Chain A
Amino acid sequence: MARMKFLCDAERCIECNGCVTACKNENEVPWGVNRRRVVTINDGVIGAEKSISVACMHCSDAPCMAVCPVDCFYRTSDGVVLHDKDLCIGCGYCFYACPFGAPQFPQAGAFGLRGKMDKCTFCAGGPEADKSDAEFKKYGRNRLAEGKLPACAEMCSTKALLGGDGDVIADIYRERVVRRGNKGAEAWGWGSAYGQPPKGGVAPAAPAGGKS
C-alpha cells in the first residue's frame, strides 16, 4: 500500500523556488500563505550553504493531530495528513507543535484571531467532495484523485524534491546516494517526520536532538 512522503535532497536543492510557485499556481494559494518554502542555511558561507524545501511532511505520528483541541485532523489511507477547515478554530496549537513550521494562518493578529489554518495537502484536497469547487476553494487541487502527485515535486527543477510513495522515494534516493559516494545520505527531516531513514540502510539514524 502506498504511503505518501516527501523528501528533499539537499545536495540537489538550488533554492529556485519552483516548488513554491508550483504550489501557489496549482492551489491558488493567496499572498502571505506559504504552504511550501525553501530555506537556505549558512547563506553565503563557503562550503556550508545548503538549501532545503520545507512543507508539511505528513508525519507518521503527526504532532499537529495530537494537539488539535477540536480534532480537525485526519489521515487518509495513503498516509496524507489533512484537516477540516469547518472544524478548525484557528487556535494555532498545531503551529506550535509542528517541527517543520508548516501550518499557515491567512490572517495575522492576536491569539484567537488567526483565521482557519492552512497547510500543504500533498495535493490531496480536503474533506469536501473530490475535485469539487468547494474542495478547491478551501483546500486546493486534488491531484491524487487525478492520479497525479504533488505539483511541487513533479515540477522540481533539479528533481531534488521527491514526493510520492515512500518506498519508491527511498529507492530513487538510495540510487542517487550510492552513485555520489554516500554524500548527503541523511535525508533531512525523515527522522522527525517518519521516525526512520529511507529504507535500504544507506542513511544513518536521525541525529540526536532531532526531536528536542
Chain B
Amino acid sequence: MLLTRKTNGSAVQQSRLAQGLNGVLAKTIDRRSFLKRSGLTAGAGVAAVTFGSQLPFSMIGEAKAKDDSSGKIEVKRTVCTHCSVGCAIDAHVQDGVWIRQEPVFDSPINLGAHCAKGAAIREHGISHDSHRLKYPMKLEGGKWKKISWDTAYDEISKKMLEIRKQSGPDSLFIVGSSKHNNEQAELLCKWARLWGTNNTDHQARICHSTTVAGLGQTWGYGAMTNSYNDEQNSKSLMFLGSNAAEAHPVSMLHTLHAKENGAKVIVVDPRYTRTAAKADIYVRHRSGTDVAFLFGVLYHIFKNGWEDKQYIHDRVYGMDKVKEEVMAKWTPEKCTEVTGVSEADVYLVAKTMAENRPGFIIWAMGQTQHTNANAVVRATNIVQLALGNVGRSGGGCNVYRGHDNVQGATDLGPNPDTLPGYYPVAVPGSWVHWAKVWNIDLDWLKKQYASEALMARPGMTVSRWIDGVTEKTENIDQDPNLRMIFFWGHAPNSQSRGSEMLEAMKKLDLMVVIDPYPSASAAMFAMVRKDGAYLLPAATQLECDGSVTASNRSVQWREKVIEPMFESRTDHAIMYQLAGKLGFADQFIGKKDGKQNLRIVKSKSGDEPILEDVTRNETNKGTWTIGYTGQSPERMQAHMRNMHLFDVKSLRCKGGKDALTGYDMTGDYFGMPWPCYGSPTIKHPGTPNLYDTHLHPMDGGHTFRALFGVEKDGINLLAEDGIANKGSDITTGYPQFDHVLLKKLGWWDELTEDEKKAAEGKTWANDLSGGIQRVAMKHGCSPFGNAKARAVVWNWPDAIPQHREPLFSPRADLVEKYPTHDDVKNLWRLPTLFKSVQQKAVKDETHKKFPLVLTSGRLVEYEGGGEETRSNPWLAELMQDCFVEINPKTAADRGIRNGEYVWVSTPGINPGGGNPRLKVKAKVTEGVGPDTVFIPFHFSGWWQGQDMLPYYPEGAAPIVRGEAVNTATTYGYDRITMMQETKTTLCQVAKFQA
C-alpha cells in the first residue's frame, strides 16, 4: 500500500525539526512521525484514490467555499457533535452551503477552543468527495444496490410485520444512538415501546452504564456531579480511567488552568497518556485492579485519620463497615500485590488528595468497561465520600461522558429498563405516567407487547444482542430469539466479541442501518451475507435542530446549520415515516381525543415532527424525576444567544436580558444543568453541582436523594440534624415529597386549585403540575428528600465493593483469592457467564499462551467506532494506521521492530476456527509497561488482515481503514449492567507473517 512509504520529503522535514528541537527529537519516537502522517507521496496517492483528482501543483487547494464578499451569510450557532464537552460553534452559511467555521469565544464551556475534531467539523458540510451514504441501499445478490425511500420503507415494514406475526415484537432489537439529540432520543424510546418491545439500548450501555448504576445507587443520580468548569475551583484532580487530553481535549483547558493555580493533577493509568504527561503525579497500575488501588488509597486515608469524620457522620451511611473491611483487606502489601503500585506511591496519592481538598476524581471508560466496573465506580464514590469531597463546588465525581449526547440519551432515550427520566419499566405507574404524557391509550400500548410480563421486564442490552440471536431459545428469557436488528446510529466495532458478531449477522432475517456513515455494519454484513440488509442515510445533528446535554448536564440548543445532504433524512422524520408504515403514526405524535402533542411539518426529509414540540409537550411535561421540566426551548435558545453573560467559573448569569425575547437570565446557570425542577415559569436556575447543600434549591442547591427508604436495620438513612439546603424550613433529613408529606407539613394549601387537582395522590415525580416541586423548593427543600449517601449498597451482590480479577487475568495466581462472580442464569434476559469462563482460562493456562494484557482506548482524531471521523480527510490524514503500543522490552523479546506489522491474537473465539487476530503496526514505546499492550478502538474496515473495501457500498468507505480491536476482545460483562469488558483481556503479539 502506498500509504506505508515514507518519502524523502518527510524524512528531511524530520531532520530539520530535530535541529530545531536541539536534537532531542532524534532519540525519541513520535506517534505521528512513526505513523508516516506527513508522507507526501502518501498524500498524493490517497488523493488519487479517494479524491478522484490530482491537485494542481501551484495551488494549495481547490476552492470549495465561496468568497465572503458576495451573497448574504447567515451565522448558525451549533454544538460540536464529537464529545460531551459541548463546544459551541458558529457556522457561516451562504446559499445553504456551510462555508466557514468560527470559534465562539463567548461560550463559557469552551471559550472558542476546539480539538482536532471540533476544528474539522465543517467537513461535514462539504458535499464534494463526501464519504457518506448518499441514498437508501439494499443488499441484493451480495451487491449494494441503490433503492428509493419508498421502496425501502415498503420492503422493511413488510418484512418486519411478517416476522412480528411469526415471532412477536420481541424478535426486534433496536440499537439507538447517543448521537441523537434529546428530542430524537425520547422519540426513539417511545418508538420502540409503540412497536411493543423493551429490546432497545444505545451506546451508554457500553460507555457509562456502570457509572450511572454506581453513582445512582450511592447518592441518587447517575450523572457527573459537577462541571468541567468547576475544576477551576478545585485543589486536586485525580484521573483514574480517563485520558482527557485525547478523549475530551477542551476539558483540559479547565484542568490546566486549575493546575496553574496550584491544583495537583494525579493520573493513574496503565498507560503514560497525553493526560499523564501533564500530571504532577503519575502512577502506573495493572489494568483491572482499580478497586484494589482505590481501597489501598482509602487505607492510608483511614490510617492517618484524614477522613472527614463530621461529613461522614452527617451525610454517609455505612462508612464504618467499609472502613473495617478496608483496614483488614487492603493493607499496603496486599494492594501492591494486586495493583503493582508501590506503597509509597499509593500513600503519596492519598496524602495529596487529603491535603488538597476539595478535589475531583475524574473517569471515563477506564473505570467503566470492566467485569467489576460497578464496584470500581462505587469504590471511587466511597473515597470521595470519605474525603468529604461530594456536594460542593470544586469537588466531586466528574464523569466524562463520551458521545455528545450520551448523557441526554441516557436520561431520555431508548433504554431497555427505563422510560424517559429513569421511570422503570418494571413499575406499572411509569407506564401510566408516560402514556398520559404521550397522549396514548395505555390499553392499546399493552396490546402492542407480547405480554404485560414482557412489558415489565427489562430488555436485552446492546452489549449482548449477538447472544440474543445465537443463544439457544430455551435459555433466553423471552419467547423468540432476536431475528431483526436496527442499528440506528451505532457502530458495530464498538462492541466486544466482534468475530462472534459475524455469526449473529449470518442468522439475522433483517438488518436495518440508519446512519450517515453506516458502512462498518454494512461491510461486516456483506462479508457473510448475500441479502437481508437495508441502509438508510440519516441526517447528522448539524442538519437538524434540537437540544443536547453535555456531560455537566447543561442542555444546549442547536440550530440547524444546513439541510440534510444528498437524499438523507432526519432521524425523527424516518421514525415518523416508518411508524406510518407500521401502523402507529398517530400514537407516535400523540394524536388522540382531539389533542396532538407533536405538529408535523413538510421538510426536505418529507413529513417530520417539530422537535420543539417534543421538548415542550413531552420532555418538559414528563421528566420530573431528573428535572428536564424547566428547560423550555425558549430558555435554552436565550442562553445560546447570550453566552457571554455566563461566568466561566460558576456558569452563572450575573444579570442580563435576552434582546429578542426579553427573557431575564439573571441567576440561571448556563444550559440549566439538570435537575432544573418545576415548570419553566418558576425559573429554576438549574443545578451546577449536585448535592450541594450550601445553596438554596432555587439557587441550584440540593441534598443527597432519599431513594432507599428512611432507615435500614434500625440505622437512620436520612441526613442528620443540621444538614439541609441553605434556607431550608426543615433542618434535618426528610423523605421524598408527596401529597401526604405536603399535607402533614401544612404546605398543601400553598398549591393552586389546579395544582391540587393534579397533585392529589401523587408524588414529586409524577405530579404533572409541578406544584409539589414548586412548594417544596419554595421552603428550601429538595423535592427528592434529604438522605445520606450509601457507602454500603445492600441490594447489590457486593454490598461493599470487591476487587475481582478479570475473566482473563494475567495473574492466575490471584484468581482464587479474588474470584469473579458465579454464573448467572438470567441477566437482562440472557444467561451470563462469569466463573466458568474465568476458571476455564486458569485451567487452560491461557495467561501463558497469551501473556500480555490488552487494553484499548481513544485517539484524539477519531470518535467512537470512527467511521465518521475516518471519513474526514482533515482528521484521517493525521492517523492512517491502526497500531499497537508495545514496550521496548516486550518488542525486543519477540524480535519486533518499531513500525513493523505484527499479529495481535487473543483467547477469543473465531467462528471460523482459531483465535481472532489483528494485523496492526507496532509502535514501540515506554508509554506502556512490559506486561501491557494498547490498541485504539476507532478503526474498522480490516478483518483479521484483510481489507474489507470490496464489501462497502460504493463511495461510502472511510478514507482510513484498519483492524477493529473489538474483533478480538473477549467475553466478559458487568454483573449489574451488562457493561462489556474491553479494558482488560489477554493477548499475544508476534511478528507478522502472511
CA distance A72 to B965 in the complex (A): 49
Interface: B715 (CB within 8 A): no
Query: Is A202 on the interface with B (CB-CB < 8 A)?
Result: no
**Contact segment of B271-279, B337-345, B428-436, B682-690:** B271-279
Contact B120 A14 (CB under 8 A): no
User: Which chain B residues border A46 with CB–CB below 8 Å?
Assistant: 272, 276, 282, 926
Rounded to whole angstroms, the CA-CA distance of A182 and B28 in the bound complex is 26
B662 adjacent to chain A (CB < 8 Å): no
Q: Which residues of the partner chain A approach B925 to less than 8 Å between Cβ atoms? A: 43-44
Task: From the candidates A18, A26, A139, A140, name the one contacting B113 in the complex (CB within 8 A).
Answer: A18
Q: Which of B34-42, B498-506, B717-725, B981-989 contacts A (4 or more CB under 8 A)?
A: B34-42
Interface residues of A in 34-59 (CB under 8 A from B): 34, 37-47, 49-52, 54
Q: Which residue of A26, A33, A133, A158 is within 8 Å of B43 (Cβ)?
A: A33
Kindly supply a per-residue 1/0 record for chain B positions 722-744, scoring 1 wherever the CB is within 8 Å of any chain A CB and 0 otherwise: 00000000000000000000000
Known contacts A16-B245, A18-B113, A44-B926; A159/B253 CB under 8 A: yes
The reply on B892 being an interface residue by CB < 8 A is no
Write the nearest CB–CB distance from B935 to chain A, whole angstroms: 15
Quick check: B861 and A132 within 8 Å, CB to CB? no
- State whether B57 touches A21 (Cβ < 8 A): no
Residue of B nearest to A141 (CB): B100
**Docked CA distance A142–B402 (Å):** 35
Q: Chain B contacts of A12 at CB under 8 A?
A: 256
The complex places the Cα of A84 from the Cα of B955 at a distance, in Å, of 37
Residues of A within 8 A of B282 (CB): 46-47
Known: A16-B245, A108-B40. A25 touches B123 (CB 8 A): yes
Q: Give chain B interface residues in 227-255, CB to chain A under 8 Å.
A: 245-246, 249-250, 252-253
Interface contact B44-A108, CB-CB below 8 Å:
yes
B115 touches A16 (CB 8 A): yes
Smallest CB-CB separation from B275: which chain A residue?
Answer: A14
**With an 8 A cutoff between CB atoms, is A131 at the interface?**
yes
Nearest CB on B from A150, distance (A): 11
Across-interface contacts of B69 in A (CB, < 8 A): 131
A75 within 8 A of B: no
The answer on a CB contact under 8 Å between A33 and B274 is no
A157 near B253 with CB under 8 A, answer yes
**Which of B24, B28, B68 meets A131, CB within 8 Å?**
B68
Complex contact A108–B61 (CB within 8 A)? no
B660 contacts chain A at the CB level, 8 A cutoff: no
Kindly state whether residue A98 has any CB partner on chain B within 8 Å: yes
- Is B595 in the interface zone, CB < 8 Å from A? no
**Beyond A51-B274, A54-B17, A155-B113, is A20–B878 a contact (Cβ under 8 Å)?**
yes
A157 touches B113 (CB 8 A): yes
B713 at the interface (CB under 8 A from A): no
Q: Do residues B40 and A30 form an inter-chain contact, with CB atoms below 8 A?
A: no
Contact B40 A32 (CB under 8 A): yes
A35 CB to nearest B CB, Å = 9
**Nearest-CB residue, chain B, relative to A156:** B113
Contact across chains for A155 and B927 when beta carbons are under 8 A apart? no
- Asked if A170 is an interface residue, CB under 8 A from chain B, the answer is no
Which listed residue (A15, A16, A32, A43) contacts B28, Cβ 8 A? A43
Say yes or no: B274 contacts A18, CB within 8 Å: no
Contacts of B274 in A (CB 8 A): 14-15, 49, 51
Question: How far, in Å, is A180 (CB) from chain B's closest CB?
Answer: 4
A189: contacting residue among B13, B20, B40, B123, CB under 8 A: B20
Which of chain A's residues have a CB closer than 8 A to the CB of B253?
157-159
CB proximity to A under 8 Å, residues B51-108: 51, 55, 57-65, 67-69, 100-103
Contacts of B19 in A (CB 8 A): 99, 212
Q: Is there an interface contact between A14 and B278, defined as CB atoms closer than 8 Å?
A: yes
* Assembled-state Cα–Cα distance A116/B20 (Å): 24
- Which residue of chain A has its CB nearest to the CB of B18? A101
Does any Cβ of B come within 8 Å of A3's Cβ? no
Which A residues lie within 8 Å of B261 (CB)? Answer: 179
By a CB distance below 8 angstroms, the chain A residues around B21 are 39, 41, 52
A40 & B55 in contact (Cβ 8 Å cutoff): no
* A30 and B7 form a contact (CB under 8 A): no
Q: Is A158 a contact of B113 with CB atoms below 8 Å? A: yes
**Does A28 belong to the interface (CB within 8 Å)?**
yes
- Complex Cα gap A30–B120 (Å): 13
Q: Are B20 and A192 in contact (CB under 8 A)?
A: yes
Segment at the A interface, from B165-173, B416-424, B823-831, B869-877: B869-877
B60 touches A137 (CB 8 A): yes
Q: Max chain B CB contacts within 10 Å: which of A136, A155, A156, A207?
A: A155
Across the interface, name the chain A residue whose C-beta is closest to B246.
Answer: A16
Is B514 positioned at the interface, with any CB of A under 8 Å from its CB?
A: no
Q: How far is the CA of A90 from the CA of B373 in the complex (A)?
A: 58
In the complex the two chains form, what is the Cα distance from A157 to B115 in whole Å?
5
8 Å CB contact of B12 from A18, A95, A99, A155: A95
Q: Which residues of B contact A17 (CB under 8 A)?
A: 115-116, 860-861, 878
Query: Contacts A17-B878, A100-B17: A133 and B63 contacting too (C-beta < 8 A)?
Result: yes
Say which residue of A31, A51, A101, A139 sits within 8 Å of B873 (CB atoms): A31
B829-885 residues with Cβ-Cβ distance < 8 A to A are 860-861, 873-875, 877-878, 885
CB neighbours (8 Å) of A137 from chain B are 59-63
- Residue B8 at the chain A interface, CB threshold 8 Å: yes
What residues on B are CB-neighbors of A25 within 8 Å? Answer: 101, 119-120, 122-123, 874
Distance to closest chain B CB from A183 (angstroms): 9
Q: B162 at interface (Cβ–Cβ under 8 A)?
A: no
Residues of B close to A31: CB separation below 8 A:
43-44, 46-47, 51, 873, 877
- Indicate whether B458 reaches chain A with its CB closer than 8 angstroms: no
B355 at the binding interface (Cβ < 8 Å)? no
Q: CA separation between A44 and B885, bound complex, in Å?
A: 10
Q: How far is the CA of A132 from the CA of B67 in the complex (A)?
A: 6
* Assembled-state Cα–Cα distance A115/B40 (Å): 12
Q: At the interface, yes or no: A165 with Cβ under 8 Å from chain B? A: no
Are B58 and A115 neighbours in the complex by a CB distance under 8 Å?
A: yes
**B783 located at the interface, meaning its Cβ lies under 8 Å from any Cβ of chain A in the complex:** no
Inter-subunit contact A43/B120 (CB<8 Å): no
Q: Select one of A16, A39, A157 contacting B30, CB under 8 A.
A: A39
- Chain B residues in 8 Å Cβ range of A15: 245, 274, 860
B9 at the interface (CB under 8 A from A): yes
B25 contacts the other chain (CB 8 A): yes
Residue of A22, A118, A133, A151 most packed against chain B (CB within 10 A): A22
A49–B16 CB distance below 8 A = no
Are A106 and B63 in contact (CB-based, < 8 A)? no
Q: For the complex, what is the distance from the CA of A212 to the CA of B118, rounded to whole Å?
A: 38
Given contacts A38-B32, A49-B274, A85-B58, 16 further A-B contacts (CB under 8 A): A15-B245, A18-B249, A20-B874, A27-B60, A30-B47, A31-B46, A31-B873, A42-B24, A45-B28, A46-B282, A96-B12, A99-B19, A101-B20, A155-B114, A158-B250, A158-B252
Of the A-B pairs whose beta carbons lie under 8 Å apart in the complex, a sample of 16, sorted by A's number, is A15-B245, A16-B245, A30-B43, A39-B21, A45-B28, A99-B20, A100-B20, A101-B13, A101-B16, A116-B58, A131-B67, A138-B60, A155-B103, A155-B119, A158-B253, A207-B22
* B-binding residues in A (CB < 8 A): 11-12, 14-22, 24-34, 37-47, 49-52, 54, 85, 95-96, 98-101, 105-108, 115-116, 118, 131-133, 136-140, 146, 148, 151, 154-159, 176, 179-180, 189, 192, 207, 209-210, 212
